């Protein structure tokens, strides 16, 4: 069976409130998924999660502690942070979410 195509709907990487934020919304088959990673100055205020659009609202599918993420090395005071700094975490989280929703 062919692997469903992933289409990026939107992507944002920005620095705000002592955090780097990564948000990517994708469509995979019939599923719309949003990957959100917040790398805050403090680990306990950081998060990595995937949500699925159910037609009414975003619902949590899976999450991971920031210490399991490669982006834990990112600091809010760094300049030049791009989506590439979050790419491996995005792939891992998306793979886990797809295993759950399919």
Establish if 1 belongs to a structural domain.
Answer: no
**What does the pLDDT profile of the chain (102 residues) look like in tens digits?**
667 899 999 999 999 999 999 999 999 999 999 999 999 999 999 999 999 999 999 999 999 999 999 999 999 999 999 999 999 999 999 999 999 998
Q: Is 39 part of any domain?
A: yes
Structurally, how many domains does the chain consist of? 1
Instruction: Quote the pLDDT of residue 4.
Output: 80
Whether 23 is in a domain gets the answer yes
State which residues form the domain around 15. 6-101
**pLDDT value, residue 3:** 76
Contact present, 37 and 48 (Cβ < 8 Å) = yes
Answer yes or no: are the C-beta atoms of 21 and 40 closer than 8 Å: no
Q: Which residues pair with 36 in a beta bridge?
A: 23, 49
Answer whether 52's CB lies under 8 Å from 99's CB: no
Q: What is the pTM of this model?
A: 0.93
Q: What is the pLDDT, as a whole number, of residue 90? A: 97
């Amino acid at each position: 069976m062919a692997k469903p195509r992933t289409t990026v709907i939107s992507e944002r990487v920005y620095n705000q409130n002592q955090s780097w934020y990564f948000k990517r919304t994708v469509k995979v088959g019939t599923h719309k998924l949003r990957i959100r990673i917040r790398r805050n100055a403090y680990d306990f205020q950081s998060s990595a999660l995937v949500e699925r659009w159910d037609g009414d609202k975003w619902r949590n599918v899976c999450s991971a502690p920031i210490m399991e993420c490669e982006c834990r090395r990112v600091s809010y005071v760094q300049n030049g942070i791009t989506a590439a700094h979050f790419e491996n975490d995005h792939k891992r989280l998306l793979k886990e979410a797809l295993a759950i929703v399919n």
